[in-house]
Amino acid sequence: MRILLIHQNFATPAEGGGTRHFELGRHCSQRGHEFVVVTSPLSYLSGRQTATEDPPGSTEQVVEGVRIRYAYAHPSLHRSFVWRLFSFISFTLSAIRTALGVGSVDLVVGTSPPLPQALSAWYVSRRRRCPFLLEIRDLWPEFAIAMGVLTNPVLVGLARCFERFLYRRAHLILVNSPAYRDYLTERGVPAAKIRLIPNGVDPAMFDPDADGAEARARWGLEGRFVVVYAGALGMANDIATLLRAVAQLEDIPHLHLLLVGDGKERANLESLARELRIAHVTFTGTLSKTEVAECLAAADVCVAILQDIPMFRTTYPNKVFDYMAAGRPTVLAIDGVIRQVIEEAGAGVYARPGSADALAKAIRMLATDPERARAMGRAGRAHVVEHFNRADQAAEFARVVEGLIAPHSPQDDSGAGSGAELSP
């Protein structure tokens, strides 16, 4: 079978960002299916072109069986909200042409956010008369509304109409957090139409016994207590609160904060670090997944943080599972379902979101009790290997895909298959 994924922010292990879709696609390829991705050559973390062209001038490459084709996206991701939307729309239109050039397919997968690219997936599925699988990775537009990014009533109404449009036309909806399933059913989506495959991790990508010597040498971390944040530096991530927490820990002279990643807030955060006179902080910029694993090996404590917004209590952040797989304790400044995972595993310490004081206290606790920190790291590793192993999730994804394709018959002119329509 040929499976097509349209995903502007797709990343391989050689690039920066989450690799969930690459790992799912690789597993499908290993089962004998053809997995094709239409993506942008721009990094969503830095906004710069990262995809390599081999041979030069090519618009396609194959990585471990996953076939990747590139569609144009305007390089304006980090200018402003309006320019970011323009970049999304440019990719949405370009992706349709690129995806139709793939030829016949048996299933089209659309993923959100951003919402516009999911429209490309629906349209291509209709043209190719095959099922449309919609994946919800974050709850948009709800997150944008909660953060105050989307405030115009007309745009809010249009975004919600667009959201409902996609829910109605999807043959199946895949979510990566149990709270997202509840959100959808509360909005009238039949429970039978929703599948949960949570975020997780490939444990083989991380060595809990590694000491991170290479990363410590690269970033000048020898002899230091290293606090690592790995992920996007955006509005939602509340890194300013983390910086203010670290500023309270100047009495721990060997503490060093390593911010692994990039994003539109990086310049502002670098300015804040200077303003707070934090001497020991390093912004690494975008790193590949392999380099991120080396940084996590160098960590003594890892931090996961989001703004103190009720909607963020629904998320299963990828970075938390990476931290656990690396065998490092997590200081978690996020409430909700991910807190339940950390506490059930005994894998870290919770700090009240939005509170620099609470975050500083949690980091200090682990800095002064290294044996407890190491025990939490070991417990987290064991928990994700058993409960959030990407190999198991990839096998489940393949079964969902195969089950969706097998009984499918050609769509009618409405573009929606059996069970695809919901009540308004």
DSSP string of 285-317?
E---HHHHHHHHHH-SEEEEE--S-GGGGG---
**422 in a structural domain:** no
Q: In what order do the strands lie in the sheet with 194-196?
A: 60-63, 66-70, 34-39, 2-6, 107-112, 132-136, 172-175, 194-196
418 domain-assigned: no
On whether both 252 and 381 belong to a single domain, the answer is yes
pLDDT at 409 over 60: no
Neighbours of 344 (CB within 10 A): 11
Same-domain pairing of 260 and 187: no
User: In the numeric block, which tokens belong to residue 62?
Assistant: 């194959």
Q: Would you state the pLDDT for residue 47? A: 57
- pLDDT-based confidence at residue 421 (cuts at 50, 70, 90): very low
- Average confidence (pLDDT) over 231-256: 95
pLDDT at residue 414 in the model: 38
% the chain with pLDDT above 90: 78
Instruction: Examine the domain organization and report whether 244 and 292 are in the same domain.
Output: yes
Domain count of the chain? 2
Could you tell me which residues come within 8 angstroms of residue 21 by beta carbon, excluding any fewer than 6 positions away? 5, 7, 10, 37, 111
Contact criterion met (CB below 8 Å) for 16 and 288: yes
- For residues 174 and 213, membership in a common domain is answered with no
- Kindly state whether residues 212 and 224 are assigned to the same domain: yes
For residue 28, what pLDDT is reported? 94
Report the range of poorest mean pLDDT among 23-37, 82-96, 214-228.
Answer: 82-96
In a domain, 76, yes or no: yes
Asked if residue 162 and residue 25 are part of one domain, the reply reads: yes
77/124 same-domain check: yes
Please give the structure tokens belonging to residue 341: 């995972």
Domain that holds residue 63: 2-200+389-405
382 with 393, same domain: the answer is no
Residue 48 pLDDT level (bands cut at 50, 70, 90): low
Q: Does any domain span residue 414?
A: no
Q: Is 423 part of any domain?
A: no
Domain membership flag for residue 411: no
CATH number at residue 26: 3.40.50.2000
Percent of the chain with pLDDT over 70: 91
6-21 tens-digit pLDDT: 999 899 988 878 899 9
Q: Is residue 348 located within the same domain as residue 370?
A: yes
Q: Do 394 and 276 have their domain in common?
A: no
Q: How many CA atoms lie within 13 A of 139 on its CB side?
A: 22
Indicate the average pLDDT of the chain.
90
- The DSSP H or E segment spanning 325 is helix 318-325
Tokens 């979101």 locate to 353
In the numeric block, which tokens belong to residue 86? 């323009």
For residues 344 and 354, membership in a common domain is answered with yes
356 and 372 inside one domain: yes
Per DSSP, what are the bridge partners of residue 61? 68
Query: Could you report the per-residue pLDDT of 121-142, keeping only the tens digit for each?
Result: 999 999 999 999 999 999 989 9
Q: How many residues does the chain have?
A: 424
Q: Look at residue 412 and tell me if it is in a domain.
A: no
On whether residue 417 sits in a domain, the answer given is no
